[in-house]
Structure 1
Amino acid sequence: MDRPSTAHVYERAGFGRPVVRGARPAVVVVDFTYGFTDPQYPTAADMTAPVLATARLLDAARAAGAPVVFTTISYDAAQVAALAWLRKAPGMAALQVGSRLVEIDQRLSPRPDEHLLTKTGASAFFGTALAGHLASVGADTVIVTGATTSGCVRATAVDAVQHGYPVLVPNVCVGDRARAPHDASLFDINEKYGDVVGLDDVLAYLEALRPDPPEPEQLSTTTSQAEARA
């Protein structure tokens, strides 16, 4: 008897249905810091392509007025000595407070009014105020980008849907140290937790949410009122 294909198994089980996108997405950029994007560090890999793709996405998100959140993993000396995760993955102990490794990659042009969240676990939600922040800005959908796909991106996508948010993961905006865990995690996310989509799809989604420019008549009236007040 032929073994059923993976696609058939998941389809039969009822996985992989598309999410319903909202009208107020927020972008969560997970750990695109130099400790993950600059290959001179052992914890990192060459993330040039996903970083530049995320920069394009951020331009569209900002134009649409979508909230943007950056995360960084950062440890102080006491945490380095005590955290169980750092016993399992001791290389992560290099991500220490004040080091370049925990700074956001400047190719993403982070802005002072964009929330920067420091975490010590994989998920951007674990032990942080991210859920409260997303609620306060009225987000109804979460777009997840960043590193690594098999680690903090996947954990964040799982927790986002568990907090009630539809999740989108643009496939070219996430990266990992190796191809196999990257591909497996994207498959897993797409089947169970969110939609793994192309960048053009997300750009079109954000473009549709951009505020309409003022009508010429309205613009003329606004200019006249401003001149009268001057």
Structure 2
Amino acid sequence: MDAATDEIYDRAGFGRPVRRGVRPAVLVVDFSYGFTDPQYPTGSDMTDQVLATQRLLGAARSAGAPVLYTTIAYDGGQRAALPWLHKAPGLAALRPGTRLAEIDDRVRPAEADTVLVKTGASAFFGTPLAGILAGLRVDTLIVTGATTSGCVRASVVDAVQYGYPVLVPRECVADRAQGPHEANLFDMHEKYADVVGLDGVVDYLGSFPNATAHPTTDPAEVPA
């Protein structure tokens, strides 16, 4: 954005840094083949962002941080009834049991990870995500995935509204077009999250011992 825009947002009090907690989790939003494989009309080449997320997941698992995924899939009744699919009918191709709804193998879930199926933009809408995060005593959410202007943004906004400070590693989120991608990174950073470099997030995760994010850890034992 230009300097004038930056000045307007700064004067309004936007863009301040969020706090970093000691029990982070990673949320991978819709890195399914329907979005990451350009052979599908809903997809595009997200190779760089998927591989960056692969690196992030390695750091998260080394730190003992929970990893959660979402994918989108619609059954026959949902395809007929949901207003979103009247606005964006291409999404109706995302059906249960098809490759389009499968998580990209390059960031495949581990056995201990959680995979949630959603039918809305936000990872929180109509899913048990909020309860799972509360049960894990997560205090910071790191959000990656697709698309920046759609499901990533919706998930980030809801995460803040549920009380979670949010980090968005810019190398780990992708969109179909650069304009919406950049505009939404700017807006999220100003209002809802810290949009930051992947190296910094990896360093943040690396600052914790392996047991830090384990749900049975006594908070008194977690380093400040």
Q: How many Å apart are 1:123 and its aligned residue?
A: 0.2
Tell me, what secondary structure is at the counterpart of 1:157? Answer: helix
1:128 aligns with 2:135: no
**Residue number in structure 2 paired with 1:217:** none
1:71 aligns with 2:70: yes
In 2, Cα distance between equivalents of 1:178 and 1:82: 28
**Residue number in structure 1 paired with 2:200:** 201
Q: Deviation per CA, 1:132-189, whole angstroms, max 9, x where unpaired?
A: 0000111000000000000000000000000000000000000000000000000000
**Residue number in structure 1 paired with 2:144:** 145
TM superposition score normalised by structure 1: 0.90
In 2, Cα distance between equivalents of 1:137 and 1:114: 12
Tell me, what secondary structure is at the counterpart of 1:5? Answer: helix
In 2, Cα distance between equivalents of 1:178 and 1:61: 28
Q: How many Å apart are 1:109 and its aligned residue?
A: 3.0
Higher RCO, 1 vs 2 (CA within 8 Å, ≥6 residues apart): 2
1:44 aligns with 2:43: yes
Percentage of pairs with the same residue: 67
**Residue number in structure 2 paired with 1:59:** 58
**Residue number in structure 2 paired with 1:184:** 183
Q: How many residues align?
A: 210
Q: Given residue 192 of structure 1, which amino acid in structure 2 is its aligned partner?
A: K
Report the RMSD for the aligned CA atoms in angstroms: 1.2
Q: How many Å apart are 1:112 and its aligned residue?
A: 1.6
Mind listing any 5+ residue stretches in structure 2 that lack a counterpart? 212-224
Q: Deviation per CA, 1:12-61, whole angstroms, max 9, x where unpaired?
A: 00000000000000100000000000000000000100000000000000
4+ residue segments displaced more than 3 Å:
none
In 2, Cα distance between equivalents of 1:50 and 1:164: 27
In 1, Cα distance between equivalents of 2:4 and 2:107: 40
TM superposition score normalised by structure 2: 0.92
State the structure with more CA Rg.
Answer: 1
Q: How many Å apart are 1:120 and its aligned residue?
A: 0.2
**Residue number in structure 1 paired with 2:81:** 82
In 2, Cα distance between equivalents of 1:165 and 1:108: 24
Q: Deviation per CA, 1:75-106, whole angstroms, max 9, x where unpaired?
A: 00110011000000000000011110000000
Mind listing any 5+ residue stretches in structure 1 that lack a counterpart? 213-230
Q: Given residue 120 of structure 2, which amino acid in structure 1 is its aligned partner?
A: G
Q: How many Å apart are 1:113 and its aligned residue?
A: 1.3
Q: How many Å apart are 1:127 and its aligned residue?
A: 1.0
Q: 1:78 to 1:207 in 2, by over 3 A?
A: same
**Residue number in structure 2 paired with 1:7:** 6
In 1, Cα distance between equivalents of 2:149 and 2:54: 21
In 1, Cα distance between equivalents of 2:48 and 2:98: 24
